[in-house]
Structures are given as C-alpha cells and as structure tokens.
Structure 1
Amino acid sequence: MTTADVRPATGGDVPEITRIQLVAWRTAFAESLGPSVLDRLAPEEMSASWAEAVDHPGTDVYVAVEGQATVGFCVAGMAPEAEVAAADGALPDDAGSTALIASLVVEPRWGRRGHGGRLLATAAAGLRRRGAERGVTWVMQSDSATLSFYRGAGWHPDGTVRTLDTGENTIKELRLTGTLDLRLEHPETSGPG
C-alpha cells in the first residue's frame, strides 16, 4: 500500500513544485490564462521564486507526497493587509490574525485522492501555531472544482471580487474565507486533490 503524506518543503523540492505548477496551469487553466501567458512562463524564473518562498521565514510551503512522488504543494502565511481589506480599503478587526492560502495545487493526475485536503489541513495547523484564526484565499470564479473543495472545508465567498488582466483574458477571482479549524468533507472526492 502506498503512503500519502504532507511535509514541509525543502530546497530539493523546488524542481517538482515548479513542474507541478506548470502542468496544472497548462492543464487546468490554459483557456482562462490564454496561450501567450503559458508560452511566456519561464521555468528558471519560477524555480527561483519558489526557492525564495521555501526559504522565506514568514512563508510555509508544504508538499504532498504519495509513495516517492511529489504530487502537490501549498503556500501559506499571514495575510498582507491588501489581501484582507474590503473593496474600500477598510481592514477587518481580525486583519492581524488572518492568514492567506496563497496557492494550493495538486497535479491533475493525482487528484481526488485527498491530497488537497491534507495540504489544507496541514497548512491550517501551521497557521494556527502562528496565531492565525481565520484564512482567506482567492479562487477563479470559473473554477468550480476548487470552489467546491473550499466549500467542503467550510470556506465561502465573502463578497469580494478582483479582476486580473493576463494581457489576453481577464479573470475574475472570488475571495473565500473560513476558519482554520477545518471540517473537511470527503476530501478524496472534491477539489484540487
């Protein structure tokens, strides 16, 4: 029987994190991002950014593994004010104890095995140790699988929407928020993994 687990990322995980991000973007987000965006992705630059994230003391990067394979990753930390502010710039009372799940990606071929749920639960536990009480994340409005995954964890849209311009398309993202005391429902059958 193959063992699945989540552990903190190390510098040695950077090539696999980069590869998974590239595969996921090309598989799941090609239409949303547009071909020219994908053509401009530079693996060397992405790897350098991931190496910085793994080494940054305020950022927690985790990898999901199944057997010997790295199958997904999650990046989390305390949320910058811009990530929790209302549309008018006002900060909520709990801004100082709000965390950000900046990215949670499972390689598509490893989806529906509970990796996403394990990544989110591990990140939430780490964020609680940092003093966070609530989390936020941004999800493409058109990404029904990821929206469903977060809803299963008890996270819901808070009414804040942002629009990103890829140079080829515009993408609407919804800000979701929820407790870090998670109640994952059927993580093996929903969401990013």
Structure 2
Amino acid sequence: MAIAAVRAATSADVEEIVRIQADTWAAAYASLVPATAIEQLRGAEARAAWSGAIGAGAGHVLLAIEGDWTVGFAAAAVAGEPSGPDAWGEIGTLLVEPRWGRRGHGGRLLATAAHALQQAGAIYGLAWIPEADEASRRFYARAGWEPDGTVRAFDTGAGTLREVRMTGSLDLKLTT
C-alpha cells in the first residue's frame, strides 16, 4: 500500500494544482458552470494566482500525496482578525481528484488545514460549497460542520451558482 500524506505546496506544485482543480471541476461541476469558466482554470491567470497564493505565505496551500502521486489540495487562510471575535479560518478550496476519492485524502487535508488555521489564530472554520454539491456537503457534515443559513450567488454567464456556507469547529482529529 502506498503511503498517503499531506505537505505544504511549493512553487513547483503549481501545475499539479491547476490540473487537479480544472479536472475536478470538469468532472464535478460541468452541469453548474459553463465550460469556458472551467477552461479558465487551466490558463495563465490561474497559474499566476496559485503561484501568488503559495508565495504569499498568508495562507496555507496543502497537497495530498499518495505514493508518488499528487491527488488533491486545499487552500486555507484566516478570514478575520486572528484570535479576535471574528477569528474565522476559511477553507477556500479543498479538492481531491474523483479517482482518488474515499481514501481519506479529503479528511487529512481538512484536518491539516484546520490545525494550521488554529495555529494562525482562527477559532472557527467556514467553507463555501455549491448548493448542488451534495458530496461535499456530506463531507463537511461528517467533520461536524453544518450550513449556517448563509447563501451567496454568482452569475456564471450561463446561470446562477448558489453556494451555502458550512461552518464548524477547527478542533478536528484524524481518525484511522
């Protein structure tokens, strides 16, 4: 059995992050967002954004690894004043390629990101999930996170994408 782990992303990982995000969105969200929006995830702007996120040091970009393969990633950052009353840590994205699903990679990414956010002063966690993405909503629910009733909507050019905000504790533990 291959060893699975989570590690911090480096600038050398940008191409894999771009590939995973675009491929996973193409598989999971093709019915929710136009193909042109998904294709933009493969472009130079996406590469520059991920390079900037990794280089900024203000957030945490993590990779899930199994053996020699990069199988997923997460990006998280403190979304309020650290250790203040609004000390929220946001999981900006957490994706595992569908072919690597159900092997614990998502849970390892979430627990590692939650720990990093706590170390940065966040107390609570939040993530915005497409309302129609039942699998991701169930994933966060298994971690004890719940929809808090807040919804936001984006014009995709081909309709509206609604997202629900899931919130919960950052005090997550890996279970084996």
TM-score > 0.5, shorter chain as reference: yes
Specify the SS of the correspondent of 2:31: helix
Quote the offset at 1:40 in angstroms.
4.3
Unaligned runs of 5+ in 2: none
Quote the offset at 1:35 in angstroms.
2.5
Residues 1:171 and 2:161 aligned together: yes
Specify the SS of the correspondent of 1:105: strand
Q: Normalising to structure 2: TM-score of the pair?
A: 0.93
Quote the offset at 1:43 in angstroms.
2.3
Large movers: runs of 4+ above 4 Å: 39-42, 183-186
Q: Of residues 82, 85, 99 in structure 2, which corresponds to 1:94?
A: 85
Question: Match of 1:181?
Answer: 171
Question: Match of 1:59?
Answer: 59
Distance 1:122 1:42 in 2: 26
Distance 1:71 1:116 in 2: 10
Residues 27 and 142 of structure 1: is their aligned pair in 2 closer, same or farther, counting only changes over 3 Å?
Answer: same
Distance 2:39 2:46 in 1: 13
Matches within 5 A, 1:64-79: 64-79=64-79
Matches within 5 A, 1:30-45: 30-45=30-45
Identity %: 48
Which structure has greater helix proportion?
1
Residues 1:143 and 2:144 aligned together: no
Question: Match of 2:152?
Answer: 162
Residues 70 and 52 of structure 1: is their aligned pair in 2 closer, same or farther, counting only changes over 3 Å?
Answer: same
Residues 134-163 of structure 1, C-alpha deviations (whole Å, 9 max, x = no match): 011100110000000000000001110001
Q: Give yes or no for contact 2:6–2:108 (8 Å, CA) kept in 1.
A: yes
Q: Give yes or no for contact 2:153–2:162 (8 Å, CA) kept in 1.
A: yes
Residues 1:107 and 2:97 aligned together: yes
Residues 40 and 54 of structure 1: is their aligned pair in 2 closer, same or farther, counting only changes over 3 Å?
Answer: closer
Residues 1:132 and 2:119 aligned together: no
Unaligned runs of 5+ in 1: 82-92, 187-193
Question: Match of 1:28?
Answer: 28
User: RMSD of the TM alignment (CA)?
Assistant: 1.7
